[in-house]
Structure formats: C-alpha cells, structure tokens
C-alpha cells in the first residue's frame, strides 16, 4: 500500500527529511507532512557567513532564516538540525559564480546550488539519517509514469514554477525527492501556513542572490576575481571603440540601459569578450540567436538521449527563467548537442540554462537541459547576412578546468 508520497508503508513508519530554508514554502512542506503523520526531520543548511545579512530582508539561508526554521520546527514538533555547509557551498557555488562572471558568462547560482548542494550533499545526508525521501518547498512536481520512473513536471502555479532551476536533477535523485507544493498555488501555501499557525505565513519571498550581503553581486565578484572589474573598451560590431567601461561584470547580454555611451539609435550588449575586456554592442536585431551550443547536458526524458535523438528531437526550450518555452530542435553536433530555435530568441547568454520541455505550457514534463556554451546570431541585412558568434572567452574554459 502506497502512502501519499508514493512510498511503501504507513506515514508514521516513514521518515522524511525536509530541507527548511526558513521561508514559508519549506515551512508549509514540513508542517503538511507532519500533519499527515510522517516522521519528519527538518534540516537547515548554513551556507555562508550570515552575520552581515542577519537583519536583512530578501535573502535565504541567513541568520534570521535559520532562526525562523528553528521556530517552525519547534511549533510543529519535529527535530531540527543546522548543518554547516559553508565550505562546500563556497567551493561549488560561490567560486563557480565568480569564475563564470569573470569569463563573460551570466551564471545562475540557484541551479548549481540545487545540483551540487541540496540534491547531492543534502540528499546523501538524508539517506544517512534513514529517510525514505527528501522533501523541499520547490514549486515543481514529480510523478510516476505507470510502473516506470518518476518524472519532473512544471508546477500548477505557472507564476511560481521553478522547473528551470531544477533541470539538472537526475533520474536517481527524482526517485528520492518529493515536492508537496507542486500542485498548489502560492496563496494556497500561505493559507496553509496560517492554518498551521506558522509565524512565517506572511514572510516575504527571497529575491536576491542569497550570498550577496549588499545586494550588489559585483562586490562579491570584484573581491574574489578582481580581473572582472578591470576597465576596458566598449566597441561596436566592427570593433570600433565607442566608449569605455569599469569591468565586464557590470554588463550582461541583452542589456540596454547603463551603457554610458551616447548613440543615435538604441544599443544593446551583444557579447562580452573577457579575454580583451571588451563589451560588444549593437542594434537589437543583432541579439537574435537561432542556434545554441550546450555543455553539461542532463537528460531525464525517456530512453538514452543518444538513441532517441536521431536526426533531431522536436521539443520546447526555455533559455531564461522568465521566458516562455518555445519550439526548437535538439541535435547532436561535434561530440555534443546543439539547439536550433524555430523562431529565434533575443539575448541568449552563455552561462544561462537551456531547459527542455515536452509542451509549451501547463504542467509540461521537463526533459532535461544544459548550460549555454555559445550561440549564433543572425546579423541585420545591412551587414549582408554575415553571422556573429557570441561565446565566453577562452578564460571560461580555463576557469572551468
């Protein structure tokens, strides 16, 4: 007989570790499972020196959040532990974040945190504690397909869906993970928090990168990788110097405002050349990409990717967390994988994720994804159909090596 988490055994005989960040979502997850009778253990990760952010709103896993998680655990009557993961978080997430920016990429640290810290290290700890599953407050759902493996699907609340940040989850991890809020909306979760009398019911959501005390990520990068804030030139598509900057870290592909240069027509950041400390700008039409080369591809669709891809696999892809999935083809290319966007996309940036889905909307299944290594853009007709390639400089390969 399977319980509500699709596990064998009665809830009271089933231990579940809940990752508690101190926010409303993970708190409701713990309270909900406790109310269903599960043997719940709460774990909060101390990921960085929280002294500077103890009283600051909008950051997770800081001192205040640990305090809130502890209070929620006491309120619902479950054991709660705080684990010091600072060194592994710095090595896997913060250093990676700084290296990526210094090489001209635009990284997504939440993806690396989920992949390297929560769903690898914390998951291993949950197993050591004898848990049958690790539950989190992410807005995403997992379901079993018949007698087959569990699959990852988008949340019912499209405005809260976090599937983009979880594409690197493996099949083995999915079998052990549970996401109780995947079929709820945020207002429903807050209402449950009030029903459980949790003091975090109206706590605001975290908005900033959690390990940036000042809210300015450039401060962290400048301290860890000074070369990223070295001055350089702003050039047009022909390489002509039209301005200067105080560090490529202050720019991202697609950016229009804050360039510090005057022009007769709007200019956008087309690419970042970290090796020469150059910011390349051009007209908006130069931003449109139609082919994306990926690295570190994770496949959680049916079968082995190399067997099912054939001459090309039709799917929908999302190239930024705030954008809707669009039609594309995934193909094998030069020992790796390449995505061809049917309609093209503006502002595709190396370091971001390209996530695969089986449908453009609703609770679509997540098929996997990869990180964007480079993209090819169509240049305006005025440049006689020439093509421009954007990619991180060779420093990116050195940083990752």
The string of pLDDT tens digits covering residues 148-181 is 899 999 999 999 999 999 999 999 999 999 999 9
**Are 27 and 189 in contact, with CB atoms under 8 Å apart?**
no
**Are 90 and 48 in contact, with CB atoms under 8 Å apart?**
yes
Q: Taking residues 250-279, what's their average pLDDT? A: 92
> Hey, how many other C-beta atoms are within 10 angstroms of the C-beta on 206?
17
DSSP 172-226: HHHHHEE-TTTTS-HHHHHHHHHHTT-TTTTPPPP-S-TT-TTS-HHHHHHHH-G
pLDDT of 207 > 80? The answer is no
pLDDT of 356 > 70? The answer is yes
Of the pLDDT bands very low, low, confident and very high (cuts 50, 70, 90), residue 220 is: confident
Higher confidence at residue 29 or residue 391? Answer: 29
Among 100, 108, 82, 59, smallest CA distance to 211 is for 59
pLDDT of 269 > 50? The answer is yes
Q: Taking residues 102-111, what's their average pLDDT? A: 93
Q: Is 61 a catalytic residue?
A: no
Percent of the chain with pLDDT over 90: 78
For tokens 């109780």, what's the residue?
A: 180
- From CA 209, how far away is CA 89, in angstroms rounded? 13
Q: Which of 60, 61, 110, 113 is catalytic?
A: 113
Q: Which of 61, 154, 210, 354 is catalytic?
A: 210
- From CA 324, how far away is CA 219, in angstroms rounded? 31
pLDDT of 58 > 60? The answer is no
**Are 369 and 354 in contact, with CB atoms under 8 Å apart?**
yes
Q: Is 210 a catalytic residue?
A: yes
Higher confidence at residue 56 or residue 269? Answer: 269
Instruction: Tell me the two tokens of residue 262.
Output: 């005057």
* pLDDT value at residue 380: 46
How do beta strands 232-235 and 278-282 pair? parallel
Among 174, 166, 134, smallest CA distance to 150 is for 174
| pTM (predicted TM-score) | 0.89
**Are 134 and 30 in contact, with CB atoms under 8 Å apart?**
no
Higher confidence at residue 146 or residue 12? Answer: 12
Of the pLDDT bands very low, low, confident and very high (cuts 50, 70, 90), residue 213 is: low
Among 60, 51, 57, 55, smallest CA distance to 25 is for 60
Q: What is the pLDDT of residues 172-190, one digit of tens each?
A: 999 999 999 999 999 999 9
Q: Please, is 28 exposed, middle or buried when counting C-beta atoms within 10 Å of its C-beta (0-12, 13-18, 19+)?
A: buried
CA 137 to chain centre: 15
Of the pLDDT bands very low, low, confident and very high (cuts 50, 70, 90), residue 375 is: very high
CA 319 to chain centre: 11
- From CA 135, how far away is CA 139, in angstroms rounded? 12
* pLDDT value at residue 59: 53
- From CA 237, how far away is CA 240, in angstroms rounded? 7
Percent of the chain with pLDDT over 70: 89
pLDDT of 222 > 90? The answer is no
Of the pLDDT bands very low, low, confident and very high (cuts 50, 70, 90), residue 60 is: low
pLDDT of 33 > 80? The answer is yes
Q: What is the pLDDT of residues 328-345, one digit of tens each?
A: 999 999 889 999 999 999
Q: ∠ CA 324-328-331 to the nearest 5 degrees?
A: 140
Q: Where are the beta strands (DSSP E) in 47-176?
A: 80-84, 133-135, 140-144, 150-154
* pLDDT value at residue 328: 97
* pLDDT value at residue 48: 81
pLDDT of 101 > 80? The answer is yes
């Amino acid at each position: 007989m399977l319980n509500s988490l699709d596990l064998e055994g009665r809830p009271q005989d089933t231990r579940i570790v809940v990752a508690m960040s101190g926010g409303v979502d993970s708190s409701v997850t713990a309270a909900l499972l406790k109310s269903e009778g599960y043997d719940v253990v709460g774990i909060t990760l101390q990921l960085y020196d929280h002294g500077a952010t103890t009283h600051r709103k909008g950051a997770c896993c800081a001192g205040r959040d640990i305090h809130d998680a502890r209070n929620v655990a006491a309120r619902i009557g479950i054991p709660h532990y705080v684990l010091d993961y600072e060194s592994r978080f710095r090595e896997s997430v913060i250093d990676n974040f700084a290296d990526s920016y210094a090489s001209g990429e635009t990284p997504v640290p939440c993806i690396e945190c989920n992949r390297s810290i929560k769903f690898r290290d914390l998951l291993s700890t949950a197993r050591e504690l004898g848990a049958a599953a690790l539950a989190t407050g992410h807005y995403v759902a997992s379901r079993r397909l018949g007698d087959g493996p569990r699959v990852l699907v988008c949340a019912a609340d499209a405005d809260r869906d976090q599937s983009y940040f979880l594409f690197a989850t493996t099949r083995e991890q999915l079998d052990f993970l549970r996401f109780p809020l995947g079929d709820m909306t945020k207002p429903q979760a807050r209402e449950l928090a009030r029903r459980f009398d949790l003091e975090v019911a109206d706590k605001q959501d975290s908005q900033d990168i959690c390990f940036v005390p000042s809210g300015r990520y450039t401060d962290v990068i400048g301290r860890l990788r000074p070369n990223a804030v070295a001055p350089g030139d702003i050039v047009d598509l022909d390489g002509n110097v039209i301005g200067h900057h105080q560090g490529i870290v202050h720019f991202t592909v697609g950016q229009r405002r804050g360039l510090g240069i005057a022009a007769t027509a709007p200019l956008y950041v087309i690419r970042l050349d970290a090796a020469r400390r150059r910011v390349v700008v051009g007209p908006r039409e130069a931003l449109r990409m139609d082919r994306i080369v990926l690295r570190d591809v994770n496949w959680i669709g049916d079968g082995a990717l190399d067997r099912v891809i054939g001459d090309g696999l039709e799917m929908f892809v999302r190239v930024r967390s705030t954008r809707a999935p669009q039609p594309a083809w995934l193909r094998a290319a030069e020992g790796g994988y390449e995505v061809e966007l049917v309609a093209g996309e503006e502002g595709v940036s190396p370091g971001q994720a390209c996530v695969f889905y089986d449908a453009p909307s609703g609770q679509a299944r997540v098929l996997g994804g990869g990180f964007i290594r480079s993209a090819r853009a169509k240049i305006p007709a005025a440049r006689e159909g020439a093509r421009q390639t954007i990619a991180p400089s060779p420093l990116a390969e050195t940083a990752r090596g």
